Amino acid sequence: MTEDSIIAKLRRRSPLIGDDCAVVPSRAGRDLLLKADLSIEGVHFTRELKPEQIGARAVARSLSDIAAMGGTPLYCLVSIALAPWTDERWIDGFYRGVYKMLGKAQASLAGGDISHADQLICDVILCGSVAKGKALLRSGAKPEDSLYVSGPLGGWRHKRGIEPRLQFGRKLVGVATACMDISDGLALDLHRLCKASGVAAELDNVPLLKGATLDEALHDGEDYELLYTAPPRVKVPGIRIGAITPGDPPGKPPGKPGTVRYDGKALKPIGYDHTRRLPSGQNPVR
Amino acid sequence: MTEDSIIAKLRRRSPLIGDDCAVVPSRAGRDLLLKADLSIEGVHFTRELKPEQIGARAVARSLSDIAAMGGTPLYCLVSIALAPWTDERWIDGFYRGVYKMLGKAQASLAGGDISHADQLICDVILCGSVAKGKALLRSGAKPEDSLYVSGPLGGWRHKRGIEPRLQFGRKLVGVATACMDISDGLALDLHRLCKASGVAAELDNVPLLKGATLDEALHDGEDYELLYTAPPRVKVPGIRIGAITPGDPPGKPPGKPGTVRYDGKALKPIGYDHTRRLPSGQNPVR
């Protein structure tokens, strides 16, 4: 299949595709959200995974970031470098997965690029929107805020697919003080949220997916649940997992900004490492 | 260098980087332009090219598409899969090229993704804007329109770098009936413009870059000049290269939509092929 023939096929469903750029309306009173997420053969998945799943998962990763800002996804670009082992059937399956995931999120495929490489690589770009000034940032957590997750953790080995928490995220707008999605494991991602907010955190409850271990929940990634904070007496959906504490200067307890403690013990900010190669057949979503 | 350390460095210059998504204002009365362009080692460049040039060129390709819509570039995301042969010095050089090209275009780096692959691959995403309903599409060319280019052609071997025609493109808004940028050679790209507009074209003048051959100008690509049409008596900047003719049904002269003739002879829609591998050391920009 040539680039032009793939584009011609996609245009039947996606009229925004086909010019030098996609042209879409701007929205008064809204901020725009922009996100790009790479999915790479051997890093994020292996080729044994079905093409539908590779496509759906690549899109879901970016949608999860829109969810984490409390946003609504609007337009998607998919850039793909096809590996020599892909064929028309594979490409059709991949885009089936893309469309399925975008359909559930009510977002449109609006463009992208198609080329070739030795390894399959795709980059999914999402453009979303959120009420002006209302995006849920990582940097708003305050000492004494309660800390929550949108669901049980330990996704890597125990979850069948990614369900971006879009509705959940929108419910947190105006309620949560900080929010992000957990993609690299609770320990590392909570460390990032705390660092961005200049605070520390104390965990007292880590809810586990059926079959998952505490270690998987803390350090394994691929959860795509939301991690967020809210003032202690505000009613919010989700599971309370701990509280935000002051991020004092180094040496002074309870710890410098970014420190995450569980049962009083500091956790190392170690999580899913996107530099490691996956062994053949080992996939985050089966 | 880890992903977090590269991001920390970029954040010093690019405060929009660092949350789950970049949050940017929406603009009333404007349409948004969205574009993604892959640049792949061995397909679009080889590693002998300086990292500054690889970065600048990758960004320039997307900027050229914004120019072709008559738009103003605003925000850029750069997703990069680093190859094992890259090091900190290379990465710094690459982003120096990215910032230099974005600086000239007055656009901001707002995010992206960083990962690893066997081959260097980057995807440059641009978000721009244009006055509502005024984007220059490929589909507006009418029979009898004159056909123009913004400069001489044959770029692949004879051009030192890409200068996206942003100011030129904005001057064409409200004047040109159709516009696109020439990235894959005049013959193939004019064929695409004619097909999108349901017309044919007759070339009578192909301006050549110093040292370039007619064959390079027609079929070699990497020009990044604008190709556009305007009614015959409207004054427009640029070089007149021919005229639009009706795209009659197959068999009837002057030809079906998409047919491009030069001196009365139909040209094959053959251009730069992004599926071929570049021999080591052969680069479009030296």
Model ipTM value: 0.91
What are the chain A neighbours of B177 within 8 Å (beta carbons)? Answer: none
- How many angstroms from the chain centroid is the CA of residue A100? 17
Residue B285: the pLDDT is 43
Among B26, B75, B118, beta carbon nearest to A129: B26
Q: What is the pLDDT along chain B (286 residues), one digit of tens a residue?
A: 778 888 889 999 999 998 999 999 988 899 999 999 999 999 989 999 999 999 999 999 999 999 999 999 999 999 999 999 999 999 999 999 999 999 999 999 999 999 999 999 999 999 999 999 999 999 999 999 999 999 999 977 777 788 999 999 999 999 999 999 999 899 999 999 999 999 999 999 999 999 999 999 999 888 999 999 999 999 999 999 999 999 765 555 555 788 999 988 999 888 876 655 665 556 554 3
How far apart, in Å, are the Cα atoms of A126 and each of A7, A189, A220, B48, B262? 19, 21, 25, 33, 42
Largest CA distance in chain A: 63
What 3 state SS string does A225-251 have? CEEEEECCCCCCCCEEEEEEEECCCCC
- pLDDT (0 to 100) of residue B27: 87
Q: What is the pLDDT of residue A284?
A: 55
pLDDT band of residue A285 (cuts 50, 70, 90) is very low
Min mean pLDDT across A154-158, A222-226, A259-263, B97-101 is at: A154-158
Which of B25, B36, B196 is closest, CB to CB, to A123?
Answer: B36
pLDDT (mean) for A92-97: 97
Q: Which of B40, B69, B113 faces A81 most closely, judged by CB atoms?
A: B40
Class (C level, CATH) for B138-266: alpha beta
The count of other CB atoms within 10 Å of the CB of residue A89 is 9
pLDDT confidence of residue A286: 32
CA-based nearest residue to A224, from A7, A6, A59, A17: A59
User: At residue B260, what is the residue type?
Assistant: V
Q: To the nearest whole angstrom, how far is the Cα of A253 from the nearest Cα of chain B? A: 26
DSSP state, B138?
Answer: G
Tell me whether the omega of the peptide bond preceding residue B254 falls within 30 degrees of 0, making it cis: yes
**How near does any CA of chain B get to the CA of A33, in Å?**
5
pLDDT at residue A273 in the model: 63
Q: Which fold has domain A146-266?
A: Phosphoribosyl-aminoimidazole Synthetase; Chain A, domain 2 (3.90.650)
Query: By CA distance, what is B33's nearest residue in A?
Result: A23
Which of B69, B82, B113 has the most A C-beta neighbours within 10 Å, making it the best mutation to test the interface with A?
B113
Q: Which tens digits make up the pLDDT trace of A184-198? A: 899 999 999 999 999
Distance CA A216, CA B101 (A): 43
pTM above 0.90, yes or no: yes
Mean pLDDT score across all residues of chain A: 91
Task: With both helix axes pointing from N to C terminus, report the angle between B3-13 and B88-105 in degrees, rounded to the nearest 10.
Answer: 30
A29: closest CA of chain B, how far (Å) = 7
List the single residue in A31, A111, A129 with the smallest CB-CB distance to B35. Answer: A111
pLDDT of residue A155: 78
User: B36 vs A75: CB contact, 8 Å cut-off?
Assistant: no
What is the tens place of the pLDDT at every residue in A62-92?
999 999 999 999 999 999 999 999 999 999 9
- In chain B, which residues have their Cβ closer than 8 Å to the Cβ of A127? 32, 34, 127
**Is there a cis peptide before residue A254, judged by omega within 30 degrees of 0?**
yes
Residue B173: per-residue pLDDT: 97
When scoring A5, A10, A21 by the number of chain B Cβ atoms within 10 A, the one with the most, hence best to mutate, is A21
Largest CA distance in chain B: 63
CATH number of B3-131: 3.30.1330.10
Sheet containing strand B22-25, edge to edge, reads A108-116, A72-82, A121-131, A30-40, B22-25
Nearest of B21, B24, B129, B25 to residue A28 by alpha carbon: B25
> What's the rounded Cα separation, in Å, for the pair A38 and A33?
17
The rounded distance, in Å, linking the Cα atoms of A179 and A133 is: 14
Mutation pick from B23, B74, B118 vs chain A, by most beta carbons of A within 10 Å, is B23
DSSP letters of A53-98?
Answer: HHHHHHHHHHHHHHHHTT-EEEEEEEEEEE-TT--HHHHHHHHHHH
> Alpha-carbon distance B220 to B152, whole Å?
13
Q: For A180, name the nearest residue in chain B, comparing CA atoms only.
A: B20
Contacts of B47 in chain A (CB under 8 A): none
Reading the block at residue B268, the tokens are 């094959």
**Closest chain B residue to the Cα of A39, Cα to Cα:** B115
Asked if A77 and B34 count as a contact pair (C-beta separation under 8 A), the reply is yes
What span, in angstroms and rounded, lies between the C-alpha atoms of B239 and B207? 8
Would you list the domain boundaries of chain A?
3-131, 146-266
Q: Is B23 close to A137, i.e. CB distance below 8 A?
A: yes
Whole-number Cα distances in Å, A122 to A8, A79, A81, A222, B214: 19, 5, 6, 17, 36
3-state secondary structure (DSSP) of residue B230: strand
